[in-house]
Amino acid sequence: MTERDEIDVLAGEYVLGTLDAVERAAASLARRRDPALETAIAAWEARLQPLADAVAPVEPPKSLQAKIEAMLPVAQFAPIGALERQAQRWRRAALAASALAACLLVTIGVRELSRPEAAGTYVAVFQKDDASPAFLLSVDLATRVLSVRPVAAEPPAGKSYQLWIALEKAGGVPQSLGLIDTQQSTTQRALAVYDRASVERATFGISLEPAGGSPTGRPTGPAFHAKLIKTAG
């Protein structure tokens, strides 16, 4: 098989759904880094779409719509339950992926985040889903040095990503930690003004803002969130 065949078969199995959990997780990560795979997946989605169109529609229970609409985040920062579900899901995905996808994870920077000195290092992973950008944030709690590593995070034209912290003792009101450079990993010390315990429990958010950052000093665009997870070792 040619390389293109290999990619098309992987993409085809991904879209058909026949990959097992570990392979799926690996492919989900790989598509973010590999435009050829991403394109091949989109091509299969389009090719097989007529089969989806032929599936008989089923009305969902009437009560669901109101329930869903009540779940849509009103505030910029999602309710804690949703955050925890997100974090749990990511942990599960990370576990499933760890065996097969260790090499893929390396390419998105986990290696940097889990070097031996990582004992005091915490990581937050911002990865809403397979198709949107991801950010890896790491914080050394001892020095409060923070670094952000973007992955496939090209903002739409005229927009910037902005990093926020919401501290319990500040009532959960997000405070800006500055704009994120989407081209490269950046290190900064904006956390130095906060104490260790607060940072450890804080929620971090990344929102999409007009170029140059939020005009209001609060998140205004779609946001995603994460809490710090202690790295192993």
Partner 1 sequence: MAARAEVASARAAGLRLLAPTGAAGSRLAFLIERIAARDRAAFSALYAATSAKLYGIILRILRRRELADEVLQEVYVQIWERAAYYDAAKGAPITWMVAIARNRALDEVRRKTAVSIEDTPEVMNLAGEEEHPLDRVEKSQELARLSQCLDALDSNRRELVLLAYREGMSREVLGQRFSRPPATIKSWLRRSLLQLRDCLGQ
**Radius of gyration of the chain measured on its C-alpha atoms:** 19
**Sheet containing strand 145-151, strands side by side:** 186-188, 145-151, 134-140, 121-127, 229-230
Task: Annotate each residue in 111-140 with x if it binds partner 1 (CB under 8 A) or - if it does not, as one string.
Answer: -----------------xxxxx--------
3-state secondary structure (DSSP) of residue 189: coil
What span, in angstroms and rounded, lies between the C-alpha atoms of 10 and 7? 5
**59 belongs to the binding site for partner 1 (CB under 8 A):** yes
**171 belongs to the binding site for partner 1 (CB under 8 A):** no
Q: According to CB under 8 A, which one of 81, 116, 156, 158 is a site residue for partner 1?
A: 156
- Residue 57 C-beta: closest distance to partner 1, Å: 4
**Sheet containing strand 203-210, strands side by side:** 174-179, 159-166, 203-210, 223-227
- Residue 33 C-beta: closest distance to partner 1, Å: 17
**224 belongs to the binding site for partner 1 (CB under 8 A):** yes
Give me the amino acid identity at 169. Answer: K
**46 belongs to the binding site for partner 1 (CB under 8 A):** yes
Question: Token digits for 59?
Answer: 């009305």
Which residues would be at the binding site for partner 1 (CB under 8 A)?
1, 5, 8-9, 12-13, 15-21, 24, 42-43, 45-61, 64-65, 67-69, 71-73, 82, 92, 128-132, 156, 208, 221-222, 224
